[in-house]
Chain A
Amino acid sequence: MGLLTIIRKNRLKEKEMRILFLGLDNAGKTTILKKLNGEDISGISPTLGFNIKTFVHGKYTLNVWDVGGQRTLRPYWRNYFEQTDALVWVVDSGDRMRMQDCKEELHSLLLEDRLAGASLLIFANKQDIQGSMTCAEIRDALDLSSIKSHHWKILPCSAVTGENLIAGLDWVVGDVADRIYYGSSSALPTNPQTAEVVVS
């Protein structure tokens, strides 16, 4: 029994995943989380600091960290990178004016060693608002095709209607499980350096 096997078995017992929600301010990170958790979403204030939510999804317990996206808070994101299994990047699909900003923040995150290997889900939020950018437009605006270092996927969603939120979590959990818990699942191990998931 190698050390890796021991580590895997240990994590298997916990069946926990740590998911980090990041994105620019006004993207809807907190709203998505509250919606997933079945809470009221009408009186949410912009996040000063962070929220932690724990919920059970399938066989796993998800610890979700939602950190405020205001510019003054972004330097603190780094404090939350440790042991992150998946990164969920939330985008305000109506915010054309800051797509460039959004792209730069995302790509600089992906250079972080401590986020290496983490699965990356991009939520194109606010699709309920007509005139928002489509998934394909956002994929190009954020230059997602250039991401080779992480498993990624982009999904259109709406925190208000709840569209695709569960589907997104399913993908995140499935992708992380394949990587960390592949001993237990039937899926074959995949190599994040070569495999790429592209969905538009």
Chain B
Amino acid sequence: MEDSNKTRIQEFYATFQAARTDLSSRLEALKAGGQPDSDKLHALVADAAKLRKEFIDANGYLPTYDQRQYEQFLKSVEADIESLRVTSAPKPKFAFKRRPPKASTPSTAQTCADHAKEAPILSAPPTSSSSHLALSGHSHKYLDGGSLPSLASSSDLTISDLEDCIVNLLTLPSLSDAEDGGQCKFTALHARNLSNTVLILPVFDGSALLHDLKRCTIALGCHQFRMHASHAVDVYLSIESNPIIEHCSSIRFAEYPRALSSTLDASPSILHETSKHLAVQDFSHIRATRSPNWSALPAEALPSGDDWGLVVRRDTSMSRDDMEEAMPRLLPAQQ
């Protein structure tokens, strides 16, 4: 057994050495010859591949030192051939074609990546516009139901780009086609980019989605509450599910004020019996420890019924002076 292995090793050594000198000389000739002859090159490639195969077959009985030596030589030959091939002919264009989506939406992928780098929150302009309740682009104003268009039935409510405003939508415009004088209802709230604004909303069926709020006070009741990328907001909430905050800081939560629910047409029983306004989940802080981004509003910081009354118990619009009196009492303290 040992003997036969020895002879095989020697035999392989002989054949390998012969092939080696042959391959090396042919390689040199091709290299020297300027533009390599493609037929000769192909023959060389085939021979190198054959030698590689023989080497792999022989691996079973070759000692490791020999294996390394042969391997090294083969590698260098293959690298030389590869470089010759590159110079002799432009590399054939080979590509997997199964990537049609990339070709069709390159801009999307690009902007996506850009966005990821830029900021965690998008502020893309709204697309399309069919009729819905919307309040947008006001400053230093008192806005109530009268500021909204009158619609036929329930709708979604969009509030965006407000500064130093008080929005009171406890009373919404009456339905345009209703005989019984029923109110417009909204079943979804989307708010974006509000600052120094007091937003007072009724308790409604649906979800609230808020983006980019700075130093605001919000009172509302809803099914689901999500707030993103906001800072210094006091939230007075009546809710059955867990409120969510993400990329937020200095958010304080409290119960929906009784002073507001009593002014609603319906009885206060519409408030969620067991509100979970303090079961806040911070998606930016998914850990066992308490999130530093929100807290419960301390009792001594709660506005009194009178403070809310300044804003809600009036038939006419608020003057600038009224607003300046009311806002500091409701908004979170300036930092």
A129 and B154 form a contact (CB under 8 A) = yes
A44 and B224 form a contact (CB under 8 A) = yes
A99 and B128 form a contact (CB under 8 A) = yes
Q: Which residues of B have CB within 8 Å of A107? A: 101, 105, 108-109, 112
Q: Mark B102-117, 1 if CB is under 8 A from A, else 0.
A: 1011001101100100
**Cβ-neighbour of A46 out of B108, B153, B242 (below 8 A):** B242
Asked whether A133 and B128 contact (CB < 8 A) given A70-B246, A104-B112, A149-B101, the answer is yes
B226 and A108 form a contact (CB under 8 A) = no
**A-side binding surface: helix, strand, loop or mixed?**
loop
B124 and A70 form a contact (CB under 8 A) = no
Nearest-neighbour CB distance to chain B for A43, whole angstroms, equals 5
B101 and A132 form a contact (CB under 8 A) = no
CA distance A13 to B225 in the complex (A): 44
Asked whether A95 and B128 contact (CB < 8 A) given A110-B101, A130-B154, the answer is no
Q: Mark B94-105, 1 if CB is under 8 A from A, else 0.
A: 000010111011
A70 and B283 form a contact (CB under 8 A) = yes
**A residues in contact (CB < 8 Å) with B:** 25-26, 42-46, 48, 70-73, 92, 94-101, 103-105, 107-108, 110-111, 116, 126, 128-134, 137, 140-141, 143, 146-149, 193
Since A130-B156, A131-B151 are in contact, a sample of 14 more A-B pairs with Cβ atoms closer than 8 Å, ordered by chain A residue number, is A44-B241, A45-B241, A46-B281, A71-B120, A72-B286, A95-B190, A95-B209, A97-B124, A99-B127, A129-B154, A131-B130, A133-B130, A146-B104, A147-B101
23 contacts between A and B (CB under 8 A): A26-B207, A44-B223, A45-B241, A46-B226, A46-B281, A48-B281, A48-B286, A70-B283, A92-B188, A94-B190, A96-B128, A98-B124, A105-B112, A108-B112, A111-B102, A111-B109, A129-B156, A130-B132, A130-B155, A132-B132, A132-B156, A133-B128, A137-B130
**B residues in contact (CB < 8 Å) with A:** 98, 100-102, 104-105, 108-109, 111-112, 115, 120-122, 124-133, 151-156, 158, 160, 187-188, 190, 192, 206-207, 209, 211, 223-224, 226, 228, 240-242, 244, 246-247, 281, 283-284, 286
